[in-house]
Amino acid sequence: MLDLAQEESIVWLYDNIAELPFVRETLYQSRFRTKKPSRTEVSGTVVGYATLKKGPTHRTGYDRRVWILTCDDIGHATAYRNAEGLVSGCPVEAVTPAEVRPGVTARFSSSLRDRLRAHPMPWPVLQAKK
C-alpha cells in the first residue's frame, strides 16, 4: 500500500520537466527505495520517480510513484493534439510536473485540461540530465 509519508524526494530525469504540459502518474512496486525503475517494471518512458526514506525492510517491496510518458504523448499522432499538432488535451492520469511534491497526492486538475484547450502548446524536446 502506498504511504506518501515515506516519500523523501522526487527525482526528475530531464532538465526541462517544467516545460512539459503533463506527465502521467502511476504506481509500481519495487524492491528498492531509491533506485530508478527499470524498463521492465514500468510501461512508458520514465521521466521521474519518488524515492523513499529509510525504514523497516518489506519483503514484498515498496509501492512508489513514478511519472511516465507514453509513445502517444511524445509522438505526433495522438488524441491530445489539435490539427496543428499542438497539445490541446491530456489523459485522466495527467498531472502538472510543477505541482508534484514528495508526500503530497498529485491530483488531476480539470484546469489543466481547460488550460490546454484554451492555449494549445507544442510538445518540448526532452533534455536529459547530464
* pLDDT tens sequence for the chain (130 residues): 788 999 999 999 998 888 888 899 998 888 888 998 877 777 888 999 999 998 877 778 889 999 999 877 876 556 777 777 788 888 888 898 888 999 998 877 677 788 888 888 888 888 888 7
Task: Quote the domain boundaries for residue 32.
Answer: 4-118
97 found inside a domain: yes
41 found inside a domain: yes
pLDDT, one tens digit per residue, over 73-92 is: 876 556 777 777 788 888 88
Q: What is the number of structural domains in the chain?
A: 1
130 found inside a domain: no
127 found inside a domain: no
* Residue reference for cell 520517480: 49
124 found inside a domain: no
> CB–CB of 48/97 below 8 Å?
yes
pTM given for the model = 0.84
19 found inside a domain: yes
